[in-house]
Amino acid sequence: MSIILTEAEAKALLQKVLKYSKADECEANILGEERGNLRYARNQVSTSGSLVNQNLSVQSAYGKKVGVATIDEFSDESIERCVRRSEELAQLAPENPEHVGVLDPQTYQKSSGFFESTAAVNADFRADAVMKSLELSRAQNLTAAGFLENQKGYTAMMNSKGLFAYYPSTSVNFTLTVRTPDGKGSGYVARGYSDVKKLDTAAATKIAIQKSLGSVEAKALEPGKYTVILEPTAAIVLLENIYFNFDARSADEGRSFLSKPGGKTKLNEKIVDERVNIYSDPSNPDLPGSPYSGDGQPVNKMSWIEKGVVKNMVYSRYWAQKNNVKPVPFPSNVIMEGGTATMEEMIKSTKQGILVTKLWYIREVDPQTLLLTGLTRDGTFYIENGVIKHPIKNFRFNESPVIMLNNLETLGKPERVVSTESDRNYLIPPMKIREFTFSSLSDAV
């Protein structure tokens, strides 16, 4: 049997698992995936690898006593042993007061994240795609280091109440850094898709080459507050920290940027500019996501920030039950609405500002304000009177994405980006922000 099971095969396998169960409740999750990668540096291949992975996880419960066991090969004998093992562990476990029982069958919306084109990617395809990139950098005597990784897989789950869910998906991520031989210029590009047909490594490479050549002989600018235009690759590594901290329990407990004095939260309060709209929608064709969460909840279209107001927070089933509200699962994708401005228009309307193409080494400095630090990297440019004047040396910044979205000037058109910090894909626009805080200079190129 293939590692990637069809919906019917996954269902049959899970039914077999559930038949062995003798516990009060049982829930089984399976996944299968194949990954391949090609890594290169100094204009030649450095490493390549492939990974085939499958896993079955069985959770058995007796009341609030829960045990989990997993296996990575699916013979009948192994499956039965796995179920028995999870039952033994459940009997031995202390009661978990936060355990909630398995869900009734659910209805899931349709999401199409599996593309045959991507599923067919093999070592030859990767070598060709990388060769198209390498030829361009070699021809201009530039030094390339890049990474191409493709993945195909599925997840499925079933429980003793009859719930069944299945979701197949594919993805390809390509990242590239091009440097000038004297080490004075560096440019970067990242591309992520579900459908590999959209990946053009040569076109992407040209962007990295342009940034690398354009960033040579950078001049130093005084640190301070500047208007910035953040390309989506730069903006996302700041904004994703907002989504990661949308947990209702932390907010209720008073230890989140969404907490307020007296045990209250900022739910239904305006926290950023009214043009900010952030939501998730697994059925978005440009950014498909899983229609169900790991515990079987349907993941539907959900607004997180609407017109600058916090509309929803993530509620685990336990925390929702305790607070008598509806559970809200963590989203499987995040989308930020944009405006109509092009990058050219945003630059043209800037009297004095900085174009930031990438940010690096983002770390939280203060969880209360979501203050983050990090640096610009691989192409930072000074804008004066509507035109890019020259490259500038990199800066360290200390800024909160919440403050940043209050200082919003303009939003561009959303595009799919890969976070260089978390590797997750998002749909977000480029944005112009005033009074962005740069605190010191860096000599790094």
Under rule CB under 8 A, which residues in 288-347 are in contact with other proteins? Answer: none
Q: Name residues contacting other proteins, limited to 180-199 (CB under 8 A).
A: 183
Residue 425 binds other proteins (CB under 8 A): no
**Of the residues 117, 303, 403, 424, which one makes contact with other proteins according to CB under 8 A:** 403
Question: What number of chain residues touch other proteins (CB under 8 A)?
Answer: 83
In angstroms, give the least distance from the CB of 398 to other proteins: 7
Query: Which residue in 11, 85, 132, 275 binds other proteins (CB under 8 A)?
Result: 85
Would you state the structure tokens that stand for residue 399, as one six-digit string? 């800024």
Type and span of the H or E element at 204: helix 201-214
Q: How far is the CB of 402 from other proteins (least distance, A)?
A: 5
If DSSP codes are grouped into helix, strand and coil, which group holds residue 182?
coil
User: Quick one: 323 or 369, whose CB is closer to other proteins?
Assistant: 369
Can you tell me which of 18, 71, 216, 302 binds other proteins, judged by CB under 8 A? 71
Q: Residue 206 has which token pair?
A: 């040209």
Nearest distance from C-beta of residue 341 to other proteins, angstroms: 26
The DSSP line for 58-71 is EEEEETTEEEEEEE
Nearer to other proteins, 25 or 399 (CB): 399
Which of 347, 356 has the CB closer to other proteins? 356
Which of 108, 319 has the CB closer to other proteins?
319
Cα R_g (the chain), whole angstroms: 24
What secondary structure letter does DSSP report for 102? P
| Among positions 75, 139, 262, 324, the unique one binding other proteins when judged by CB under 8 A | 262
Minimum gap (Å) between residue 259 Cβ and other proteins? 6
| Residue for token pair 């509200």 | 325
Identified binder of other proteins from the candidate list 12, 123, 202, 203, rule CB under 8 A: 123
Q: Which of residues 263-292 bind other proteins (CB under 8 A)?
A: 263, 271
User: Which residue, chain included where needed, has tokens 């640190």?
Assistant: 223
In angstroms, give the least distance from the CB of 194 to other proteins. 19
As a whole number of angstroms, the distance between CA 276 and CA 58 comes to 41
Query: Residue 160 or 373: which CB sits closer to other proteins?
Result: 373
Which of 257, 381, 426, 438 contacts other proteins by CB under 8 A?
257
- Residue 427's Cβ-side half-sphere holds a number of Cα atoms within 13 Å equal to 25
Residue range at the interface with other proteins (CB under 8 A); choices 93-101, 291-299, 311-319, 408-416:
93-101
Task: Show Cβ contacts of residue 39 under 8 Å, excluding neighbours closer than 6 positions.
Answer: 45, 46, 47, 48, 146, 147, 148
Q: Which of 116, 128, 135, 253: binder of other proteins (CB under 8 A)?
A: 253
Helix residue ranges per DSSP H, 223-272: 232-244, 248-253
Among 155, 171, 177, 297, binds other proteins (CB under 8 A): 177
Mask for 15-44, x = binds other proteins (CB under 8 A): ----------------------x-xxxxxx
Four-point Cα dihedral 278, 196, 420, 185, nearest 10 = -120
**Per-residue contact flags (x/-) with other proteins for residues 355 to 394, judged by CB under 8 A:** -----xxxxxxxxxxxx-xxx-x----------------x
Q: Which of residues 125-164 bind other proteins (CB under 8 A)?
A: 127, 130-131, 134, 143, 145-147, 149
Closest distance to other proteins from the beta carbon of 195 (Å): 22
Contacts 24+ apart (CB under 8 A), 253-259: 255/367, 256/367, 257/367, 257/368, 257/369, 257/370, 257/402, 258/310, 258/313
Comparing CB distances to other proteins, the nearer of 134 and 335 is: 134
- CA distances to 18, 48, 266, 336, 425 from 306, rounded to whole Å, are 42, 44, 13, 10, 21
Q: 298: exposed, middle or buried (C-beta count within 10 Å: 0-12, 13-18, 19+)? A: middle
CB nearer to other proteins: give 321 or 398.
398
Q: Determine which residue in the list 400, 410, 419, 425 makes contact with other proteins, applying CB under 8 A.
A: 400
The alpha carbon of residue 428 and the mean position of all alpha carbons in its chain are separated, in whole angstroms, by: 12
- Half-sphere exposure (CA, 13 Å, Cβ side) for 136? 23
Site membership for other proteins, residue 91 (CB under 8 A):
no
Q: By CB under 8 A, is residue 110 in contact with other proteins? A: no
- Residue 423 structure tokens: 């590797």
